[in-house]
Structure 1
Amino acid sequence: MRTPSPITGVLVAVTVALVGNLATNTVQVTWKWWPLTIWTTVAFLVLVTLRIEYTRHRTATPRDGTEGASAAKQVLAGLVAGQWRTEAILRSLDDPDPIPVQWHLTDNRQAMDHAVNLTPASLRLKASSDDIPALVHKFRAMKRRRLVILGGPGAGKTTLAVQLVRELLDTRGAHPHEPVPVLLSVAGWDTGRFPHLHEWVAVRLSTDYPALRAPEFGPDAPRHLATSGQVLPVLDGLDELPSPAQAAVITALNRFLGRDDQLILTSRTSEFTHAIDRAGNVLTSAVVIQPRPLNRVAAAAYLRRCLPPHPGPVWEQILTGLRASTPAQGPVANLAELCTTPLGVWLVRTVYLNARTDPVNLLNADAFPDAATLRAHLFDQLVDTLIDTRPPSDDPAQLFRPRHRHDPARVRRWLSYLAYQMSHPHTDGSPRTRDLAWWHLARTTRTFTPLTRIALAALTTITVALTVSFTPALTFTLTFALTQLGKSAQLEDGPVSQFVSDFAFTFTSFLPTGLVVGLPVGLVVGLAARSWAREEPGFANLRLHSRLPQLISKLAVRLPLGLALGLALGLAAGLSASWLSSWTNGEFTDMLPIVLPITLPVGLAAWLTLGVLSWAEAPTPGELANSPLASWRADRAVNLLRIIAFGLAPGLTAMLAIGLAAGLTAMLEIGLPVGLPAGLTAGLTFGLAAGAHRAWIAYLVTTHRLARTGQLPRKLMPFLDDAHRLGLLRAVGPIYQFRHAELQDHLAATYAPTHVISGDLRERSP
């Protein structure tokens, strides 16, 4: 927004002074000395603020677009590298080495563009998941760096995408001008709302990496990075979109990608084929690769590397059977079929190798007659195994260990509920999803209903009414009791009975006032709650280190306007009170000397509070990538800061101002019962109704209701963080996903919906 010029500021100030003086003198002609003085002061403060802002903008030396974009790009590269370094540890991608999946050019040449539109060398592309540098070298050699990774369930598509991101970042030193690879879940891309890929990428960068919104990088650094080709989008999971949306993504990519735009896309093979058929075109200039089934010998060699040097006779029998060119029929054949995918190998390793479980069950032909039954068995044992093998730890270095110990049965129940909700169409009409966003929980379950909003409005009304009634009743009664302490012997019913009687009388006297105040507040909250379930999370940075000068500067600039606001409020309140006095009593009373000492500090406190909130929502370049838990904590901080700041700052200021205006001895008698309820009411109203980012409040209501029925734990986010540390979930920015889509499908299929009868859980069939 353009800063007003000094001439405009002078004209505004003079206009305010003249209009204010004229309005004041039309009320009472006997007021001759103060109107012009007060309004001139207001105008002067406004002028001073405008001048300070103008000077600050003129003298500021922000980075130009090139320098700011370069710095933002470096920060983004560091954040993405750190994010996937941590995630690789949690996913055990390098322990001991990646599973050696072999990749080759797709056999379905109709899924790929004309050979003339591709780099000739890429037509002979072969790669292995345990030799990512070679694949990255071939990717960089492409005329147009566009790659599609296809495969069936559990084939390792996402793992390969993560490996590419990490290798591209690790070797950026020799290629400093390359774009930064950023892995994004394509399921969040609404091509109707964001037809251009770069528009959506800019929004995701702003949400997932709040450091890019730091003022040091200039205005809208995420958009500049996305639209200037400084980001390589790695879009994971095209198959997770509905069929029409998959085709829309292919169409949007072909329509809006420029000649030099780079892209990596993953999808299941059948869904990608259907998407290009529906779109009527392939992805232009994209090389399409797919995996070969995992070789049994390679699978046996990988399991051998994960086992102790002397694993025992049963493991030797299993490994020998896997290495055989044609395994005999029975358990070893079923195990060999299971191990043709990285998912199967990971399940065997996790449940039997890492847990040191007796592998004799893998040879039980009666219990596991085929590979599907064996895989279901491994999924069933996965939760118990991971909880047993990863005991809790508070050591920050132990990323793969949870912070709390959980009951396996409850963990399965809670994760099954989430998987079931994600695998079925949501109550708001949105389709099934693989993305678990904590702020979507309120709108994808039957918890945040119109009845819930009515209950919130009623609860707010009652809370405000009790606050406005209880505080003055307690204060007045306590003050009276202290003054009568020496006369307690003369009280007929004794001091306690007298206190209770006085409190009840005072409370009931103030209750109508509390209801009158609470009803509109509750109505405002109830109306505002309609949007809570659709709001995105916010961000709050409350660390003072290296940011204190910014806070002081922001408050210093706001100080004159805050004083002007307090003066304006005082004049408005004084005029209104004087009018009311003249109308009711027929005699004019000058209320300004009474009102102004109160409104001046209250207005100043409210304006400065807005400055603190504005400062808190400005991130710094050092902010970490926005993990799900960090996103939740940040939005919680925004909401609590808003409620507490608006409740305490004006409330305590009003209490002190009223007390000082009436005398120090009247602080308890008048300041506390009048100022504190007013401030708390204002804080509750502004905290719940004003501003944006109330996702945490909707989450709080939702998890409370679901915890009552046993569907989810009351502390959901700490539990999800532990599930992530256990390896049951994976994180992509602020979004969780199940470690494997097949794990989500398995848990969803085993979930038995419940309903509540008289406070008890009753299971019923789906």
Structure 2
Amino acid sequence: MRWLFATLAIAALMAVIGVVRGYYAFGSAAAVGSILVALSAVILSRYPVAAPRPRDQQLSEALSELSGVVAAQWQREAASRGLADPHPMPVCWSYTEPLADHGALVFRATPGRAASFEGRSDDVQNMVVRLRADLQRPRLVILGEPGSGKTTLAVQLLLVLLAKREPTEPIPLLLSANSWGSNVFREPRDWYIDRIVRDYPTLSAIDKTIPRQLVDQNMILPIIDGFDELDAHHQRTLLRKLNQSLGPDDGLVLTSRTAEYANAVTRADVITAAAVVTAQPLSAAAAADYLDVCLSPTRRRLWAAALEELHHTPEGRLATVCRTPLGVWLIRTVYIESGRDPAGLIDPTVHPDAEALRAHLFDALIPALIGTRRPDASGANPARPHHEWEPEHARRWLSYLAVHLRGRSDIRWWDIPAGIPRTARLTIMALVIGVPVGVYLGFNNALLTTLFGERHRIGVWAMVFSGICGLVGATLVFGLLPPASRTRSLEPGYVSFRKRTRDPDAARRIGNQMLKGLLVGIPLGLAFTGGMIQPWKGSSSRWAYGGIAWLGYTIGTGMALALIFGVVTWLRTPAADDRPRTPAASYRDSRNLTLLPVVLAALAPIVMLLNPVSVVVVWIQNGLISQFIPNPVDGLDEFRAVYSFGPEDWRRTLIKAPFNCIVFGGVILTLVVWFGERAWFLFVTTTRWAVLTGKLPRRTMAFLDDAHRLGLLRTVGPIYQFRHAELQRYLARDLRN
């Protein structure tokens, strides 16, 4: 209700000013116009769309929807990674007692069964059964060396837990440890809530409190992947906070490299009541059997010698490479899928040791994937890219990203500008903002005067001077002031064009934002259009008729901003059928959030000129003419004489109108980037330097999406990661060398 009172106060102030100055008609019309617009927004803000559903029904619906969405999300990701093609690798996991809590806290007392926990990656269902039956609490720490299949097991556990989930059991969510920050989230529960809100916006369409309810009622089982990628301080802090936040029955799954987790627990503590399993090296026989299954019948004879060496030389070069799922995947991708002759795998003169063989496989990986997985423009096959890329270019671009991450695994596209040199960022931002500003100022102040008879030299120098002013101003705004000098932008916002059907408070929020836009726009309109029209000059009759135009423009300005605020609020309201956020979806959301206010602002001059409020005001004004304006016909003639447009005026207006719309949109773009959504704008502009220097492709997001389809990258929500940390380190080392 406070927005109504504020709007009525503005209307009353305008009326008082009109009466005190003696311009009764203008004051009355201004008051009526403001009240009409305010009342329409107030009615919208107080109108309930639908009665809210009971809390239990909302929570049950949210659990059902989240379970289905998460299952579909990770089934697609598992298919993209080929985790079950032809079947999971037989990695064995053994219980690691020195890094686990006391056995009495971890295991249930089961007669005749030892306090231990083992499993295999090709029989995850049995691991889930034991997780529920043998452990007092569903808490598991997964350890292993690089490339040993820790993340793969986490994804497998998530899918089986969802498939076997009972209605009262929590829903597993996989989280990247890099998305947690002790300086951002005081408690892990706040982190869980934030990721649910950002990655699964459809839940907020049911009720905006659903994410917090799910976490508070222990209906979320967090699976934290990549604990070892945090620095030592954050590892210890996260361990302490996790133990402090765990309730009596809360579950938790955490993956990490063995050495990093061991160092962290010596300085902090183990995860309370959690079992710990460690990946065992693949045996040469298991690797040979897996590769044999991947072979077509016509190629088994060609691979007979390689498979025989694996069986009979378990300590050889080939067997050493095949001790991890990463090594087996490399051999399958580079040799089996591409149809290469495996003779080089067993020839010691070609690759003398295991390290040389592994380096050869990494070298051949990108050409093999691009060569065997041909583009599919339809996108129906998640394992085939949309576009064709040169292997050498793809390797150079991925190597740049590997170095840019500085040891982190997460490729947040909105953080890529942080790797651009500061000088390059300032130069690009100055050109992007300063040149259009300079051209507009020069055109508006000089070129038009040249076209309409002024001296050409003055116009040219005015354009040059305006361009310099634009460059300097943009450099100062985007380079020196604190908000724009941040090297890491905020995570992209959310926007959706889908239909909203389930949020009973949407109309209220939209109405409140429209009122805010109205209250901001009316004072701006008074100042801006008043200086343009200047109705106070001349006789009282011209004052009155000039006031009509002034009031129409003023209310039109308020309506334009109310429209922008209302539409943006509506689009940022979560939709009921939204999918989980992916990197491509977050990129589109940020782009739409940046450009939508600009498009609406560019249309604002039309709303300012053509709005129904102006028509109502004119009607009211004409009804009061005989009472307040002496000699109305003479006054109208004077007004028309002053504000009439001849052919030359129309020509000038038509030439300037597009530029006025552009500059209006540019102002809004600057405000959006400065105070709100900046991720897409900074990414598109500042990465041009990396494109020009060959470090990134022109279509960076399309390349990242295709790299994911090829199997070089993986996704966790809106974040890309390298398929394997060892691949990332190899590419980074290759670029430095």
TM-score bucket (shorter structure): 0.7 to 0.9
Q: Distance in 2 between matches of 1:533 and 1:337?
A: 41
Q: What residue is the counterpart of 2:555 in the other structure?
A: 600
Q: What residue is the counterpart of 2:381 in the other structure?
A: 398
CA contact under 8 A between 2:520 and 2:561: conserved in structure 1?
A: no
Q: What residue is the counterpart of 2:416 in the other structure?
A: 441
2:659 maps to 1:677: yes
Question: What is the DSSP-based 3-state SS (H/G/I as helix, E as strand, rest coil) of the residue aligned with 1:36?
Answer: helix
Q: Distance in 2 between matches of 1:513 and 1:673?
A: 19
Question: What is the DSSP-based 3-state SS (H/G/I as helix, E as strand, rest coil) of the residue aligned with 1:356?
Answer: coil
Q: What residue is the counterpart of 1:756 in the other structure?
A: none
State the Cα distance separating 1:378 from its structure 2 match.
Answer: 0.7
- Alignment match of 1:104 (pick from 85, 94, 101): 94
2:436 maps to 1:463: yes
* TM-score (norm: length of structure 1): 0.83
2:329 maps to 1:346: yes
Stretch moving more, 249-258 or 511-520: 511-520
State the Cα distance separating 1:90 from its structure 2 match.
Answer: 1.3
CA shift in 2, pair 1:561/1:624, >3 Å: closer
Q: Distance in 2 between matches of 1:189 and 1:45?
A: 45
State the Cα distance separating 1:668 from its structure 2 match.
Answer: 3.8
Map 1:697-708 to 2 at 5 A: 697-708=681-692
Q: What residue is the counterpart of 1:239 in the other structure?
A: 228
CA shift in 2, pair 1:235/1:561, >3 Å: closer
Q: What residue is the counterpart of 1:65 in the other structure?
A: 55
State the Cα distance separating 1:554 from its structure 2 match.
Answer: 8.3
CA shift in 2, pair 1:725/1:662, >3 Å: farther
Q: Distance in 2 between matches of 1:554 and 1:83?
A: 31
Q: Distance in 2 between matches of 1:303 and 1:346?
A: 9
Q: Distance in 2 between matches of 1:207 and 1:253?
A: 21
User: CA offsets, 1:142-174, max 9 Å, x none?
Assistant: 3211000111111111100000011111222xx
Q: Distance in 1 between matches of 2:5 and 2:345?
A: 86
Q: Distance in 1 between matches of 2:278 and 2:130?
A: 15
Structure 2 runs not aligned, ≥5 long: 615-639
Q: What residue is the counterpart of 1:119 in the other structure?
A: 107
State the Cα distance separating 1:263 from its structure 2 match.
Answer: 0.6
Structure 1 runs not aligned, ≥5 long: 425-431, 481-497, 753-764
User: CA offsets, 1:73-93, max 9 Å, x none?
Assistant: 222222211111111111111
Equivalent position amino acid for 2:143 in 1: L
* TM-score (norm: length of structure 2): 0.86
Q: What residue is the counterpart of 1:632 in the other structure?
A: 587
Equivalent position amino acid for 1:171 in 2: K
CA shift in 2, pair 1:154/1:32, >3 Å: closer
Q: Distance in 1 between matches of 2:370 and 2:363?
A: 13
2:281 maps to 1:293: yes
Stretch moving more, 352-361 or 507-516: 507-516
Q: What residue is the counterpart of 1:90 in the other structure?
A: 80
Equivalent position amino acid for 2:415 in 1: H
Map 1:172-251 to 2 at 5 A: 172=165, 175-214=166-205, 217-251=206-240
Q: What residue is the counterpart of 2:620 in the other structure?
A: none
State the Cα distance separating 1:252 from its structure 2 match.
Answer: 1.0
Aligned length in residues: 698
State the Cα distance separating 1:520 from its structure 2 match.
Answer: 6.5
Q: Distance in 2 between matches of 1:295 and 1:112?
A: 26
Q: Distance in 2 between matches of 1:252 and 1:548?
A: 34
- Alignment match of 2:158 (pick from 154, 165, 171): 165
Question: What is the DSSP-based 3-state SS (H/G/I as helix, E as strand, rest coil) of the residue aligned with 2:94?
Answer: strand
Q: Percent of aligned pairs with the same residue?
A: 36
Q: Distance in 1 between matches of 2:286 and 2:139?
A: 29
Q: Distance in 2 between matches of 1:112 and 1:618?
A: 44
State the Cα distance separating 1:558 from its structure 2 match.
Answer: 7.7
Stretch moving more, 17-26 or 231-240: 17-26
CA contact under 8 A between 2:44 and 2:508: conserved in structure 1?
A: no
User: CA offsets, 1:29-79, max 9 Å, x none?
Assistant: x3133313422442354245334423x14x741234333333222222222
Q: What residue is the counterpart of 2:624 in the other structure?
A: none
Equivalent position amino acid for 2:89 in 1: I
Q: Distance in 1 between matches of 2:690 and 2:273?
A: 48
State the Cα distance separating 1:203 from its structure 2 match.
Answer: 1.3
User: CA offsets, 1:566-614, max 9 Å, x none?
Assistant: 66555555766798966x9999955423323333333322321221122
Equivalent position amino acid for 1:601 in 2: G
CA shift in 2, pair 1:79/1:474, >3 Å: farther
CA contact under 8 A between 1:180 and 1:230: conserved in structure 2?
A: yes
State the Cα distance separating 1:507 from its structure 2 match.
Answer: 7.1
CA contact under 8 A between 1:533 and 1:695: conserved in structure 2?
A: no
2:218 maps to 1:264: no
Q: Distance in 2 between matches of 1:710 and 1:10?
A: 56
- Alignment match of 1:410 (pick from 380, 393, 404): 393
Stretch moving more, 224-233 or 286-295: 224-233
State the Cα distance separating 1:702 from its structure 2 match.
Answer: 2.8
State the Cα distance separating 1:374 from its structure 2 match.
Answer: 1.1
CA contact under 8 A between 1:243 and 1:275: conserved in structure 2?
A: yes
CA contact under 8 A between 1:470 and 1:507: conserved in structure 2?
A: no
CA shift in 2, pair 1:272/1:638, >3 Å: same
State the Cα distance separating 1:352 from its structure 2 match.
Answer: 1.0
Map 1:204-603 to 2 at 5 A: 204-214=195-205, 217-279=206-268, 281-324=269-312, 327=314, 333-422=316-405, 424=406, 432-443=407-418, 445-447=419-421, 449=422, 452-453=425-426, 456-457=429-430, 459-470=432-443, 524=477, 527=481, 529-531=484-486, 533-543=488-498, 571-572=526-527, 589=543, 591-603=546-558
2:26 maps to 1:34: yes
Q: Distance in 2 between matches of 1:652 and 1:472?
A: 23
Q: Distance in 2 between matches of 1:724 and 1:570?
A: 50
CA contact under 8 A between 1:534 and 1:695: conserved in structure 2?
A: yes
Question: What is the DSSP-based 3-state SS (H/G/I as helix, E as strand, rest coil) of the residue aligned with 1:625?
Answer: coil
Q: What residue is the counterpart of 2:569 in the other structure?
A: 614
Stretch moving more, 117-126 or 724-733: 117-126
CA shift in 2, pair 1:155/1:672, >3 Å: same
Q: Distance in 2 between matches of 1:146 and 1:566?
A: 55
Q: What residue is the counterpart of 1:649 in the other structure?
A: 603
Map 1:6-21 to 2 at 5 A: 15-21=9-15
Q: What residue is the counterpart of 1:149 in the other structure?
A: 142
RMSD (CA atoms):
3.6
User: CA offsets, 1:124-149, max 9 Å, x none?
Assistant: 32211111111111112232110001
Q: Distance in 2 between matches of 1:574 and 1:441?
A: 42
Equivalent position amino acid for 2:375 in 1: P
CA shift in 2, pair 1:293/1:525, >3 Å: closer
Q: What residue is the counterpart of 1:75 in the other structure?
A: 65
CA shift in 2, pair 1:675/1:509, >3 Å: same
Question: What is the DSSP-based 3-state SS (H/G/I as helix, E as strand, rest coil) of the residue aligned with 1:124?
Answer: coil
CA shift in 2, pair 1:665/1:68, >3 Å: farther
CA shift in 2, pair 1:560/1:360, >3 Å: closer
